[in-house]
Structure 1
Amino acid sequence: MSNANTHVNVVTESLDNIQRIKAVAPGLHANGACALCILRATQVPIGPAYLQPQADIHRALEIDTSVASTASACSLCLSILSPDIFDQITLKYKEQAFDSSTVCISVELPKSIYIRQRSMQIYVKSAVIDLKDVIKYISGNRIAEACDVAIDGDSDMRIECAFRHEETLLDHQFLVDREGSSIKIKSFRKKGIDYTTGDSLGAVLAELSKCDDSVVASKFGSPPPLVKTAAEIESLVFRRASLFIGGRYLKLQRNISQTPFVVDGKRMTELSVSEVIGEPIKELALCDSYNLVGSGREDADVRMLGDGRPFYIECINPRKTNISQDLISQIEDQLIQENSPVQCRLLQIIKPEDTRIIKEGEENKTKHYCALVWFASVLSKETLEEINQVGSSEIVLQQNTPIRVLHRRSPLVRPRKLLRLEITHIEGHFYKVRIESEAGTYIKEFVHGDLGRTSPSLSSLAGGIVADILELDVENVSLDFPPKSV
């Protein structure tokens, strides 16, 4: 049996009342309906019949295609159901090489489709199978077969397809012109481009629902007017849920920012933590872009030592998510081999909900610092003992927003706790200061006082002797992250 005969049999076996359908099919064809829209208009349930070539559907319904319609495109679906459309969607998705085992499909149709569907329902005196459902069924089957995926409405891999049809942009004008119409169109110009608002899909559907069939038939027409052009894909977007990779980073040199530090188009630091770690992760996940989110951030001139700072990389729209731990760990190894000033450890894929630990930790974590401090005068032994005595207990600071960040933070006084403070003399005017503080404490301002905006300060604890911080290291961020894998 030939393929064509097989396809014809599939169609005929799917039809409950084939004689009734055969009776109306030629008329629908003459009025511009494509083979698949004839199935829709005669309430053929979505199934295998919709996957057959349109020529075989015509043959099964005994439609004489030599009696051609004067329409150049389908008057009901605007030829959105043409094989070329599904070829484009399938090919583009396959080219992206996503490793997802499932996919879901969403469709955005021109407003005119809904008016034409209503017009056809009036003509055939029954409901018409929804176009979106047919598109999803056919494209889903095509993609499933070509890319070995399953169609799942809950999939984190989405195909979003929007269509446009210039010829029928004003199909809804009769709804706008109706007496008492709720559609109020406003026009405006922005950056040299003309825009209109008020005729959204929701507004058009709401007004259409108020119209009697007789109004639609007389003002718009029934069956739908013929068209000369086919709809086009306006946008085709493949959108996948983000992949999150967490770990802890170390910054072994100064003058490295956490994220790219650019002012007026000029880079202020040569390296950033996010680029050093994020770029190899991007290559691994084949994502569009990435964001680094850290549990706080140190200044560019501050080193991050100890166990490192907790962070995660969000991989946006990743093609690959089935990444082995061995491949991820190779990023750590590669940075070590390159003697990179940025290192990372405990790098691993984490669950989306694990990212909350970073946000919640902003309020609960504590940090340990080591600072090299210069005093204008050498401190006496008694002064050192007094500072260490005070530092053995909790100190509550009142920190006004530092002058250096006033341009980006609200001017507020924030209480901050120092849990431990210890100072030791190195030589001359130089001292080592160790501090344990709660999150959000400005350590540099605590040392020099920020012109009195932080109180008390190390300078004030030393009897008002001018102090300045020369070097600062973060030695520990006490946050349990990333969570241990089960």
Structure 2
Amino acid sequence: MVSGTDAPAEVINDRDEAHVISAGDDVVKLLTDAVRTLHPQAVKDLLSLEVCIRCIFRLFGVRECIYNCTLLSPSILYSILGKALDLEGDLVDNSSRANEDPSKQHSTKELEIEPNFCRICLGILQFVYHDDKNMLVRRDSAHDFAVIIAEVVKQGGHQIDNFSLEVSVPPSIIENEQAVRLYMQRKYNSEVWFREKFISECVPAKEFLKLSIATPLETLLGAQCGLSSFRIRLTFGHSEASIKVPDFVEKKECNKRRKTGASDDLGTAGIECSYISANENHVTKRSLNGVQDHDFPDCLKLQLEKVNEPCHLTLLCCRAPIYIGGRYLKYSRNVSQTRWIIDDERMGEASVEEIIGSSILPMCQGDNYKFHAAGREDIDVRMLGSGRPFLVEIQNARHVPSEVVIKETEGKMNMLENKLVKVKNLRMLGNEGWTMMREGEAEKQKQYTALVWISRPLKDDDLQRIASLKEMQILQRTPIRVLHRRSPLERQKVIHWMKIERITESSQYFLLHLCTQAGTYIKEFVHGDFGRTHPSIGSILGCRAEISQLDVTDVKMDCFLG
């Protein structure tokens, strides 16, 4: 690789010839045939603008360079270009410029190790960049660059069968390319090859990069590139300004492109393109058609700024969240649903969230987890019956557990000595599991059993009065006990049915079984909360009523039943 003031290639030598042959005669012949269709003088113009060899190929739509030449170094590509177009002498002339200080001449060996940076792609398609330690990294081929990416994936311990490849590049690359195209139009717009090939067949820089490294990555990782929850994202950033184009180009085109786009978010396609690359050809065609010869100055070369440093590459490998769902039962009246800390003091002896999450997170080898449940019970309320639906969202899981491993983990959780929590029907779920739980939570019914005390002896009429109430509507204001964290609202809820079960040898204690609409405050429904819930068990029986214990006996939702 040469520096910014040197020629983009040297004359083919014996070593390069050997490399060309070893690269495969068929590949070289295919690329040579494609290169022969290029316009020699146009290629020389691009070389004089210090456009890299891969950008030249993609501007002319030479797709053979993308799919078949991932192992070829720039020196080989330049050699093929020089021989096919009979430009070898020109390449030699470019290697020693008239105004260059002879003391700064580089040897062939120096040229290979000192990178220069393309004025369009800023070195991205030369595989030259600064890494996260700000160290300069240079690779000769797409395959060599793919090796670096594959090593990062493997070092992260990710287990993958497929992956999506996403690339973000500086918008200045598009502006730089547009300026070069305008310059080429100034010279070649009247020629057929320019209108039919140079404009219409150009491969955007981002697409060129992704197509170049996708196949080597598939081979190195043993995985297919396509739609996947595992994402490899390459984010290139650059601090220098783009090529200085005339103000009218900035105003007419660049601003329009920014307005019509959207932010470059992570996508789900196997090879994801942002708005700039998707509209790039359209924007450039519109620009070229709308600009007259006199609009663009002859001094474009003087306006091209030398690129003094390559882009900074941030390489991120991560998996979209995976979900493990099921139902849990809670047998203790001293276990909260989620971790509960007040003034650095833990409330309760444990939490459902921590008991379940601490077992599932190691199974998936994720970074962290989030616990989601279909509703919640108070710390002193047991969750019995069929259990409460829950999801554990694992962030950046490196291992996707099999059904067998998940069942083994379920068994281990249920064998814990303290027996505080039990899980049922544990399984891997997609995003549809989250949707099912959220939709079911809004429509679900819940059944309870409450131990109730009243201020007078229980009568047979009380049993009949309570049992006769069906689909009873009640009005609840936000309970006093939760006013500090909930909005002061009035909520209308439905008590679907109730029945009383007597307790032997007790005239004032009984078990109240009831089924209610989701979100009903059961404790307040029993004692009335100083009149904030009406009617209540106390008001219906005409006496004071208090709740001693409460159990959730069923959460009526269709998800995660078995």
Q: Which residue of 2 aligns with 1:134?
A: 208
Distance 2:306 2:292 in 1: 19
Indicate which of 68, 75, 90 corresponds to 1:55: 75
Indicate which of 82, 88, 95 corresponds to 2:126: 82
Q: Which residue of 2 aligns with 1:195?
A: none
- Give the count of matched residue pairs: 463
Check 1:468–1:7 CA distance in 2 against 1; reply closer, same or farther (3 A cut): same
Distance 1:387 1:220 in 2: 96
Q: Which residue of 2 aligns with 1:193?
A: none
Q: Which residue of 2 aligns with 1:227?
A: 307
Deviations 1:99-146 (A, max 9, x none): 332222222211110011112223444234210111111221232121
Q: Which residue of 1 aligns with 2:476?
A: 399
Is 1:338 matched with 2:416? Answer: yes
| Higher share in strand | 1
Letter in 2 for 1:7: A
Check 1:461–1:224 CA distance in 2 against 1; reply closer, same or farther (3 A cut): same
Check 1:401–1:213 CA distance in 2 against 1; reply closer, same or farther (3 A cut): farther
Structure 2 length-normalised TM: 0.73
Check 1:47–1:261 CA distance in 2 against 1; reply closer, same or farther (3 A cut): same
Letter in 1 for 2:232: I
Check 1:336–1:114 CA distance in 2 against 1; reply closer, same or farther (3 A cut): same
Indicate which of 5, 11, 21 corresponds to 1:5: 21
Deviations 1:396-438 (A, max 9, x none): 3222232333432451231322322324245365332222222
Cα deviation, residue 166, structure 1: 0.6
Q: Which residue of 2 aligns with 1:467?
A: 545
Letter in 1 for 2:40: A
Most deviating of 287-296 and 250-259:
287-296
Most deviating of 261-270 and 299-308:
261-270
Cα deviation, residue 80, structure 1: 0.8
Is 1:481 matched with 2:501? Answer: no
Cα deviation, residue 78, structure 1: 0.4
Q: Which residue of 1 aligns with 2:161?
A: 101
Indicate which of 67, 86, 91 corresponds to 2:95: 67
Letter in 2 for 1:32: E
RMSD: 3.5
Indicate which of 429, 446, 449 corresponds to 2:528: 449
Most deviating of 121-130 and 289-298:
121-130
Deviations 1:183-203 (A, max 9, x none): 8x9xxxxxxxxxxxxxx979x
Check 1:351–1:179 CA distance in 2 against 1; reply closer, same or farther (3 A cut): closer
Cα deviation, residue 447, structure 1: 0.8
**Where in structure 1 are there 5+ consecutive unaligned residues?**
186-199
Cα deviation, residue 462, structure 1: 2.3
Structure 1 length-normalised TM: 0.83
Cα deviation, residue 269, structure 1: 4.0
Distance 2:517 2:241 in 1: 63
Contact 1:378–1:429 (CA under 8 A) maintained in structure 2: yes
Is 1:37 matched with 2:55? Answer: yes
Distance 2:183 2:213 in 1: 28
Q: How does 1:114-193 map onto structure 2 within 5 Å?
A: 114-125=174-185, 126-127=198-199, 128-152=202-226, 154-168=227-241, 174=247, 178=251
Q: Which residue of 2 aligns with 1:368?
A: 447
Distance 1:347 1:168 in 2: 54
Q: Which residue of 1 aligns with 2:347?
A: 268
**SS state at 2:414 partner:** helix
Distance 2:173 2:440 in 1: 51
Contact 1:446–1:457 (CA under 8 A) maintained in structure 2: yes
Distance 2:491 2:381 in 1: 24
Deviations 1:179-226 (A, max 9, x none): 99968x9xxxxxxxxxxxxxx979x98998556265884399359532
Deviations 1:295-354 (A, max 9, x none): 221112211112211222222332222x22221112222123222411101111234323
Contact 1:329–1:347 (CA under 8 A) maintained in structure 2: yes
**SS state at 2:355 partner:** helix
Contact 1:175–1:207 (CA under 8 A) maintained in structure 2: no
Check 1:314–1:478 CA distance in 2 against 1; reply closer, same or farther (3 A cut): same
Distance 1:370 1:266 in 2: 31
Deviations 1:264-293 (A, max 9, x none): 665434422122112221212223332322
**SS state at 2:404 partner:** helix
Distance 2:524 2:56 in 1: 76
Distance 2:250 2:46 in 1: 29
Contact 2:336–2:378 (CA under 8 A) maintained in structure 1: yes
Distance 1:394 1:180 in 2: 65
Check 1:356–1:253 CA distance in 2 against 1; reply closer, same or farther (3 A cut): same
